[in-house]
């Protein structure tokens, strides 16, 4: 089992004096990427294939690209209590968890203690933000128990993974930035929500949610149209609102386990992405606690839900 410093060395993590965007020109030409191959057993390859299939970051890759990534990945072990990433440091690799669990902490203000955000478990990835945006590490990661991760170096990430991952994440971030109850989340936290957004397609006439049912998920409309339906006193459903691309609904399910206040039905073919409360809580913790960062909005939202403070 590697010690943290040994693991960093084995994973290709280097101490960089500065982080700056790559600029290419006649004096600094981009060279063709030559994929590296780290020797692995068939058992390791199968484990990596399983984890890549579970990780959002690699979902847009084709089979050829996945093979290049698998070939380049390295396996590292971290003992319980070891620090894998330190907030503010430069980052040269991302990690995909294969076994064990690792806690994520973030310091929001220099004068405050670290805040626990979530625990990473097998199939989840972390450390990609520093590579996506060429920025310092946004949070610290500590092994909660003895853990094994697969690492991918910056060069392979930038050449094979970055463009597709960036486009997908930025599209989903556009949705999240429009959700008022998520205003108190920072960019790191919103980026992590993207990891558990699930795409779903509904045909015309299909119900996305039904009035009176328990609410566990909320939805963003990628494209298509849907309508909100509310039952009248006679029990007949009446259309009360229409949703289009970039609209969202069902967000109160993240806060309170209350029945749906209306049904939503697809008018055309509708493509949505959804997140459920359990996934949100697993990533970032209870939304009510997050809302408390902005007390005014928290109080307004609790009043809207009829919850006494």
pLDDT at 199: 79
Q: Is the pLDDT of residue 304 over 80?
A: no
pLDDT at 248: 84
Q: Is the pLDDT of residue 45 over 90?
A: yes
pLDDT at 24: 42
Q: What is the mean pLDDT of residues 278-299?
A: 63
pLDDT above 90 covers what percent of the chain? 36
Integer-rounded Cα radius of gyration of the chain: 22
Q: What is the mean pLDDT of residues 193-208?
A: 86
Q: What is the mean pLDDT of residues 180-196?
A: 76
Q: Is the pLDDT of residue 133 over 90?
A: no
Comparing 44-48, 123-127, 254-258, the range with the smallest average pLDDT is 254-258
Identify the bridge partners of residue 93 per DSSP, sorted by sequence position: 153
User: Which among 232, 72, 86 is positioned nearest to 153, based on CA atoms?
Assistant: 72
Identify the residue with better confidence: 307 or 105: 105
pTM: 0.54
pLDDT at 57: 75
Cβ–Cβ under 8 Å, residues 48 and 76: no
pLDDT at 309: 39
pLDDT at 299: 58
pLDDT at 6: 42
pLDDT above 70 covers what percent of the chain? 78
Q: Is the pLDDT of residue 131 over 70?
A: yes
Counting Cβ atoms within 10 Å, is residue 131 exposed (0-12), middle (13-18) or buried (19+)? Answer: buried
Q: Across the chain, what does the average pLDDT equal?
A: 80
Q: Is the pLDDT of residue 41 over 90?
A: yes
pLDDT at 58: 84
Q: What is the mean pLDDT of residues 281-300?
A: 61
Other beta carbons less than 10 A from residue 238's beta carbon: 12
Q: Supply 245's token pair.
A: 């691309």
Cβ–Cβ under 8 Å, residues 69 and 161: yes
Query: DSSP letter string over the chain?
Result: ---HHHHHHHTT----S-------BTTBPPPPP--------HHHHHHHHHHHHH-GGGTT--HHHHHHHHHH-EEEEE-TT-EEE-TTS---EEEEEEES-EEEEE-SSTTSPPEEEEEE-TT-EE-HHHHHTT---SSEEEESSSEEEEEEEHHHIIIIIHHHHHHHHHHHHHHHTT-GGGTTS-HHHHHHHHTT-EEEEE-TT-EEE-TTSBP-EEEEEEES-EEEEEE-TTS-EEEEEEE-TT-EE-GGGGT---B-SSEEEESS-EEEEEEEHHHHHHHH--HHHHHTTSHHHHHHHHHHHT---
Q: What angle do CA 97, 100, 106 make, to 5 degrees?
A: 70
Q: What is the mean pLDDT of residues 170-179?
A: 82
**What are 227-244's pLDDT values in tens digits?**
999 988 888 899 989 999
154 Cβ neighbours under 8 A, 6+ residues apart: 92, 93, 131
Q: Supply 5's token pair.
A: 């410093």
Domains, the chain, ranges and CATH? 4-20+37-161 (2.60.120.10), 190-305 (2.60.120.10)
Q: What angle do CA 280, 109, 165 make, to 5 degrees?
A: 45
Identify the residue with better confidence: 59 or 250: 250
pLDDT at 61: 81
Give me the sheet containing 217-223, strands edge to edge. 198-202, 270-276, 217-223, 248-249
Say how far apart CA 176 and CA 165 lie, in whole Å.
16
CB-facing half-sphere around the CA of 102: CA atoms within 13 A: 29
Identify the residue with better confidence: 172 or 306: 172
65 Cβ neighbours under 8 A, 6+ residues apart: 160, 161
Q: What is the mean pLDDT of residues 117-123?
A: 91
């Amino acid at each position: 089992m590697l010690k943290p410093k040994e693991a960093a060395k084995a994973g290709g993590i280097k101490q960089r004096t500065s982080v700056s965007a790559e600029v290419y020109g006649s004096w600094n030409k981009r060279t063709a990427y030559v994929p590296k191959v780290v020797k692995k057993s068939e058992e390791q390859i199968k484990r990596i294939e399983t984890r890549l299939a579970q990780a959002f970051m690699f979902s847009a890759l084709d089979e050829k690209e996945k093979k290049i990534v698998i070939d380049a990945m390295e396996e590292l072990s971290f003992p319980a209590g070891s620090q894998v990433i330190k907030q503010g440091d430069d980052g040269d690799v991302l990690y995909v968890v294969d076994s064990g669990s690792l806690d994520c902490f973030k310091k929001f203000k220099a004068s405050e203690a670290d805040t626990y955000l979530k625990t990473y478990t097998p199939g989840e990835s972390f450390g990609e933000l520093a590579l996506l945006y060429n920025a310092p590490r946004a949070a610290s990661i500590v092994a909660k128990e003895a853990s094994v991760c697969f690492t991918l170096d910056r060069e392979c990430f930038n050449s094979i993974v970055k463009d597709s991952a960036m486009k997908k994440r930025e599209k989903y971030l556009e949705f999240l930035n429009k959700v008022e109850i998520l205003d108190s989340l920072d960019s790191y936290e919103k980026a992590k929500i993207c990891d558990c957004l699930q795409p779903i397609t509904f045909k015309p006439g299909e119900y996305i949610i039904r009035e009176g049912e328990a609410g566990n998920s909320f939805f963003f409309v990628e494209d298509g149209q849907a309508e909100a339906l509310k039952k009248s006193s006679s029990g007949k459903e009446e259309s009360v609102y229409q949703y289009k691309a970039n609209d969202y609904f069902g967000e109160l399910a993240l806060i309170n386990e209350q029945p749906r206040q209306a049904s939503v039905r697809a008018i055309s073919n509708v493509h949505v992405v959804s997140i459920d409360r359990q996934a949100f809580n697993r990533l970032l913790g209870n939304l009510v606690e997050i809302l408390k960062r902005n007390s005014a909005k928290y109080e307004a939202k609790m009043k809207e839900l009829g919850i006494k403070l």
